[in-house]
Chain A
């Protein structure tokens, strides 16, 4: 028996998990739809199972493009993410099956998962960037496949990720030049992160695009609301969370700027989420806010003595976020699937007709808003606890700016989920009576909800997966009185806030209906909205970035026009440096003379 188990376990421990998923993606194209989705669910589940089997260390070492690379690098962080991907990709595959997703789309989704798993298990910068770029391509294909509006959005998505990927590629090359190896742990027992200086800057920007750094985030709410609902479930979790992991790989010891940027993202994302009426767009802004918490956790490691705890908090939050964020996209997807409506003001009273979707939404919302008993409470609490120890810019109550940002983000999150739930499920009575979730969707949502609850209650099993567990687990008491009080205050503030600001919110959201159309006026009104603590400074930055992007886009789409404005060329004859024989020979003569002079006298 043991021998059989070992025989099964051995290939599982040595063959990189992305191979199964890639294989499933190919199979998907030839087998019938239902069988294909079953294979997909199995292949992705295998990723989760394998995560437990692969022992810690480096495997599948090989040479790739002429360099030492590691395709299977297993440490607590990669294991954590692989488990998360295993669970949610399986659920999402089932959800796709239940949502009439075409099988080609699921095949694209699987290739996207496969490259995600590749990034997670990469043990060196080279194979990481390889899978990273592949992720960009496959996810673009996933968006594109839906057609319609998604195509233009996917185009912008591709450009954003093309630029981000290239920046990161630059970082990797610079890193190699200074360290002379691509391995994460080059010459050291522990990974040392990306080389400081230019490499770190390029990496921060490149990964920042995928993380949705403020001003680099515009692709996020632009893209995720548009494709097929099942595609959104895939997209919503993997790109951004993988970016968090890679950010951790680049800055394993944290950084101050990362912590405060994370805090700012939490507030910024939550604020903009609050203004949305497209449910998937609202959720997309929350991705930015939640990634903010994760980065704050990872970044805080540099600021406090209990570094391991902060890092673990950030990664734990990423793990939990994978679970509840996809759950939320599933629940919202069911509503869109059944009603075809993408504006929550046209919905209402659905809790009676769609109780299952409502329950799933509720679990997701309670998790993301960090209500005790759900997994978000555990990990967000860890991040806030870590921020509690930061004493760099103390504000009120002796708490640091970072802490206040995270709390404010938390309140905003809570408010926006009350809003979303209120509009979708209550808010008058339903005049439509759509059916509830399909079987596949129910299974998928049950799976995801179950894990949200499980890790909220049995948090010990989450703790043991986290890095540096031995250092901090003994002191971690998530359900202490202090934490519960804090949570209660936070929740109360959220309720009060929503009650008070519901009307002004409606007005504000009315004038800021669509970020794409009215970004610039939105920024103008944002300036007035001091209530929300958004400063004019952000607005200015946002405006500048928006206009830069707009002018870059103009340059890209009509370069000759730009050249004409700068005074080169005319309408009739675009600039082309066309010279005749005489001038060509003149230049040639000078070049020969120059070359020989350099050779002789150099």
Chain B
């Protein structure tokens, strides 16, 4: 069952998400989106993923917001009289349909926090990591062990993505931006 903390967090996340979509002013939108990211970071931490929460706070709420603000500074922030965007009803309809259909798959899902799901009990993956990570890698934090050792190749890829983003920006904008 849902706990009051979860309820509060989720309500906050939902409201900030909708507000991000509806605020007409881009700056306001960015700020609310930063708040949304922070909210999510807290949710992650509550869901026993402190590393992810920290990363989300730093990257999602931090770097992304800075990048967005920089872009606004380099381009323009059109002035608006109205506070909210008009609602695009066809978009609402198709998104609503999407949401309903995807939600209908959730009937087959395990409850939130159920310890007996396929994912949690897979002896070769989750259970194996939890039981053997320390022995094999010497790290107490299993997340770090998986990140650095078992799935080190993903982490290598992650580094490559960051490098690629740098190269991509250079190609797109020309070198002078970074010079």
Count class of interface residues, chain B: 10 to 19
List of 5 A-B pairs having minimum Cβ-Cβ separation, nearest first: A593-B98, A593-B101, A589-B98, A589-B94, A597-B101
A592 CA to B90 CA, complexed, in Å: 16
Interface of chain B residues 1 through 27 with chain A (CB within 8 A): none
- Select which of A586, A593, A597 is within 8 A of B91 by beta carbon: A586
**Contact code string A577-602 (vs B, CB < 8 Å = 1, else 0):** 00000100010011011001100100
Residues of B close to A590: CB separation below 8 A? 94, 97-98
A590 CA to B96 CA, complexed, in Å: 10
- A586 near B101 with CB under 8 A, answer no
- A593 near B97 with CB under 8 A, answer yes
- Can you give 23 contacting A-B residue pairs, CB < 8 Å? A582-B91, A586-B90, A586-B91, A589-B94, A589-B95, A589-B97, A589-B98, A590-B94, A590-B97, A592-B98, A592-B102, A593-B94, A593-B97, A593-B98, A593-B101, A593-B102, A596-B101, A596-B102, A596-B105, A597-B101, A600-B101, A600-B104, A600-B105
Residue ID in chain B nearest A599 by CB atoms:
B105
A592 CA to B94 CA, complexed, in Å: 10
Residue ID in chain B nearest A598 by CB atoms:
B101
Residues of A close to B91: CB separation below 8 A? 582, 586
B85, chain A: closest CB distance, angstroms: 13
Interface residues of B (CB under 8 A from A): 90-91, 94-95, 97-98, 101-102, 104-105
The interface residues of chain B, by DSSP majority, are classed as: helix
B97, chain A: closest CB distance, angstroms: 5
Interface residues of A (CB under 8 A from B): 582, 586, 589-590, 592-593, 596-597, 600
B12, chain A: closest CB distance, angstroms: 26
Q: Besides A586-B90, A586-B94, A596-B101, 8 other CB < 8 A contacts?
A: A586-B91, A589-B94, A590-B97, A592-B102, A593-B94, A593-B101, A596-B102, A600-B105
Residues of A close to B102: CB separation below 8 A? 592-593, 596
A593, chain B: closest CB distance, angstroms: 4
A492 CA to B72 CA, complexed, in Å: 99
Residues of A close to B97: CB separation below 8 A? 589-590, 593
Residues of A close to B94: CB separation below 8 A? 586, 589-590, 593
A371 CA to B94 CA, complexed, in Å: 81
A120, chain B: closest CB distance, angstroms: 60
Residues of B close to A596: CB separation below 8 A? 101-102, 105
A582 CA to B105 CA, complexed, in Å: 26
Residues of B close to A589: CB separation below 8 A? 94-95, 97-98
Residues of B close to A582: CB separation below 8 A? 91
Residue ID in chain A nearest B100 by CB atoms:
A593
Residues of A close to B95: CB separation below 8 A? 589
A78, chain B: closest CB distance, angstroms: 62
Residues of A close to B104: CB separation below 8 A? 600
B63, chain A: closest CB distance, angstroms: 24
A586 CA to B98 CA, complexed, in Å: 10
A590, chain B: closest CB distance, angstroms: 5
A210 CA to B79 CA, complexed, in Å: 72
Residues of B close to A597: CB separation below 8 A? 101
Residues of A close to B98: CB separation below 8 A? 589-590, 592-593
Residue ID in chain B nearest A592 by CB atoms:
B98
A600 CA to B104 CA, complexed, in Å: 9
Residue ID in chain A nearest B95 by CB atoms:
A589
A597 CA to B105 CA, complexed, in Å: 9
Residues of A close to B101: CB separation below 8 A? 593, 596-597, 600
Residues of A close to B90: CB separation below 8 A? 586
A586 CA to B91 CA, complexed, in Å: 7
A593 CA to B94 CA, complexed, in Å: 9
Give the interface centre of B95, B98, B105 by most chain A CB atoms within 10 Å. B98
B163, chain A: closest CB distance, angstroms: 27
Residue ID in chain B nearest A595 by CB atoms:
B101
A486 CA to B83 CA, complexed, in Å: 102
A582 CA to B91 CA, complexed, in Å: 9
A585, chain B: closest CB distance, angstroms: 9
Give the interface centre of A582, A589, A593, A597 by most chain B CB atoms within 10 Å. A593
A432 CA to B50 CA, complexed, in Å: 106
B146, chain A: closest CB distance, angstroms: 30
A492, chain B: closest CB distance, angstroms: 84
Residues of A close to B105: CB separation below 8 A? 596, 600
